[in-house]
Amino acid sequence: MINLTDEKMDKTTKKKKKTAECCGYPISIFFIVVNEFCERFSYYGMRAVLVLYFRYFLLWDDDLATSIYHAFVALCYLTPILGAIIADSWLGKFKTIIYLSIVYAIGQVTMAISTIHDITDANRDGTPDNFTFHIALSMLGLILIALGTGGIKPCVAAFGGDQFQEHQSRQLNTFFSVFYLCINAGSLLSTLITPVLRAQECGIHTQQQCYPLAFGVPAVLMVISLVVFIAGSGMYVKTDPEGNIMWSVCKCIGFAIKNRFRHRSSSYPKREHWMDWANEKYDKLLIAQIKMVLKVLFLYIPLPMFWTLFDQKGSRWTLQATTMSGDFGAFILQPDQMQTVNPILILTLVPIMDRLIFPLIQKCGLNFSPLKRMTVGMLFAAMAFVSAALVQIEIDKTLPNFPSSSESQLKVVNTYSTTLNVTISPNEHLLIESFGSSADYVTFDHQDITVSLNTNPVITKAFSLIKGGRQTLIIPSDPTVMYLKEDVKSKPREGKNAIRFVNGYTADLNITNLDSIEPSATTNYTLVNQGKRDFVLRHGEQWCEFSRKFGFGASYTFLIPSTVFSDDCESITEVEDMKPNSVHMALQIPQYFLITTGEVMFSVTGLQFSYSQAPKNMKSVLQAGWLCTNAVGNIIVLIVAELGKLPKQWAEYLLFASLLVAVSIIFSIMAYFYTYIDPAEIEAQVRKEQGLEPEEMEKETLEMEEKDEDQKNEQGVKQTKI
């Protein structure tokens, strides 16, 4: 028998420290929930402005910006494994949270520094001169953030759970709900605040959008989160890691598989569980603990499907919102702000469920066990997608008839002085007033057309249309130079409006925020937000102001006549290329309500379940396993949504809903065969079977560790059963 050192003896005999309580709760959890609030503020605040930073500061295109964004989010949910291994095998949860929070805070500060354009703006033109510097710094920042946020995530929830004594199981469940409330309160505030900070102007040499402030505030919140966590230091129950547990787990599983394979002949008696094939070499307690973890991890296999649907709130549903109207009368909601409905609903639904619904169900004598709750949560998410499909069908009715990939569409705009009879070969005849347009787009299944105008003499010109495109034939004051201009063929992004001007004035014109336009020319599209917008038209000393109120997602061509200055811009006519969105964003509220109800049942319960079913020394590992289901869900969104696009969006929503229903049925069957366990009880029972008192058993665990260390030193010596 190896003698234990004093230090180790002390460690083995250490009991769970009794903590100061307030209303039945350990005071230490106050520091943990405040820490989580600040950390989530930091994370979601930074995330809220990240794509805009990529797009408008680093000047990446939409595809690159969204890909890097999704890769970052997926990384944030993969790193929990690393954090859990460090915590359970090496540093313990407390130290892991502190060290990785420092990494996280450094990452946030690096990110904030990378957004200061003045650092490399030597020529003071408002844009950075050295993009490589800003890209490198921001990528470094993001990697550190992903490492930090993901790494501490499984540890904080499990560390919070560790603060409770055995008699506080009711409070422990409430803790996970409060913890979830803090996540959502932090994320809600930051998603509202950081975009406002970004919209401010700041800078040393030139005033630009204030990204340093938008990223700086989350960095400060992360530092506060760390300080709050350290402040609670004296009050925490800190459980020490029990050696390199992950390594022991892997070796034990590997041995069981090898041993089973070696004894595959039917002459060997069967064993109750395949892990029992490790009995020859490994400790029964370790085997029992591995069995508990594997049972739960097996149950997790279908869970990523829930997240696959859940995570589409931020992508597909936001895109859906861009085709809807966000005018709520008293306020205007932008499409991406619709996502804040989720944390708002969490803040109301969690207390309602905890205080009202779940106790009511219990009073009715129904056993609404955690796994049943999770199954119902999945069904709610599936219903949310059915609701999204119904909304999509309503939207589709109002969408323009866009050309298919083999078709071409054409509209005609006439800025000639008289009404024109336009013939488009072979048999399209349009009568178009001066400063008017054809009623709608004409669809062609061929690209080569000939246009004839009934001018004197008749003007005829051949054109080749763009396959799958929408174009406008502009007939200027000199019809011989009529030309094609490409139009938008999908709803403008983020619910904005695409507008352009045709200059029918006899000289160059300057329009606010646009380049000067030559006579007869047409500007490219400019995106403008919803609401009233003013444009000043100028030529030399002459000017007039033109105002227009915009809705969401429309497209217009404004025709400027030669009389524009004499009638104070009154005669500018408007051609509606695409109607504004008419289906109201409020119709998305039912789907948000359903998915959030699903989230409360699924996610809050899953968090509690992962903690309660994990053996003491593998709590963080199971939390990480739980978070990994989210990472896999995110990856499925990336793959399936890109590869398996259905022609109709509503059909894709229904497909996802049906998949989740199928998965929830499989999960409910798996759950039926799952028996809830009390890991502490099982551990005690194994100890008893081994004829060990609890304390002796802990000593034995340490002996195992010592042996492990000795074995490392004496290479080649086989590990023996204790």
Q: Which residues are near ligand LET2WEIY by CB under 6 A?
A: 40, 44, 183-184, 187, 191, 339, 342-343, 346, 599, 603, 630
Q: Which is nearer to ligand LET2WEIY, 150 or 580 (CB)?
A: 150
State which residue, 342 or 588, has the beta carbon closest to ligand LET2WEIY: 342
Q: How far is the CB of 29 from ligand LET2WEIY (least distance, A)?
A: 17
What is the closest distance, in whole angstroms, from the C-beta atom of residue 603 to ligand LET2WEIY in the complex? 5
CB atoms near residue 445 (< 10 Å): 9
| Nearest residue to ligand LET2WEIY, by Cβ distance, number only | 187
Q: Which is nearer to ligand LET2WEIY, 183 or 386 (CB)?
A: 183
Q: Which is nearer to ligand LET2WEIY, 182 or 223 (CB)?
A: 182
> What minimum distance in Å lies between the beta carbon of 160 and ligand LET2WEIY?
13
Residue closer to ligand LET2WEIY by CB (options 176, 358) is 176
Mark residue 24 as left, alpha or beta (left: phi above 0; alpha: psi -120 to 50; beta: remaining): left
Smallest gap from Cβ 638 to ligand LET2WEIY, in A, equals 16
Distance CA 389, CA 396 (A): 10
CA angle in degrees (0–180, nearest 5) for 187-220-163 = 65
User: Which CB, 117 or 316, lies closer to ligand LET2WEIY?
Assistant: 316
Q: Taking CA 148 as the corner, what is the angle to CA 142 and CA 154, rounded to the nearest 5 degrees?
A: 135
The Cα–Cα gap between 42 and 216 comes to: 9
Q: Beta-carbon neighbour count of residue 282 at 10 Å?
A: 23
Question: Phi and psi dihedrals of 555, rounded to 5?
Answer: -145, 135
CA geometry: angle 272, 273, 277, nearest 5 deg: 100
Residue with smaller CB distance to ligand LET2WEIY, 76 or 144: 76
Q: Are 291 and 613 in contact (CB under 8 A)?
A: no
In angstroms, rounded to a whole number, what is the distance separating the alpha carbons of residues 162 and 611? Answer: 9
Q: How far is the CB of 66 from ligand LET2WEIY (least distance, A)?
A: 17
Q: Are 208 and 117 in contact (CB under 8 A)?
A: yes
Residues in the chain: 722
Q: Write down the least CB distance from residue 564 to ligand LET2WEIY, Å.
A: 46
Residue 346 or 378 having the CB closest to ligand LET2WEIY:
346
308 with 633: CB under 8 angstroms? yes
Burial (CB < 10 A; 0-12, 13-18, 19+), residue 600, is buried
Distance of closest approach, residue 491 Cβ to ligand LET2WEIY, in angstroms: 23
Cβ of residue 698: shortest distance to ligand LET2WEIY, in angstroms?
Answer: 33
Tokens of 584: 């109201």
Shortest separation between residue 626's beta carbon and ligand LET2WEIY, angstroms: 8
Closest CA relative to residue 28, chosen from 16, 39, 40: 16
Please say which residue, 185 or 379, places its beta carbon nearer to ligand LET2WEIY.
185
**What are the E-state strand segments in 21-166?**
21-22, 25-26
**How do 542-550 and 531-539 pair as beta strands?**
antiparallel
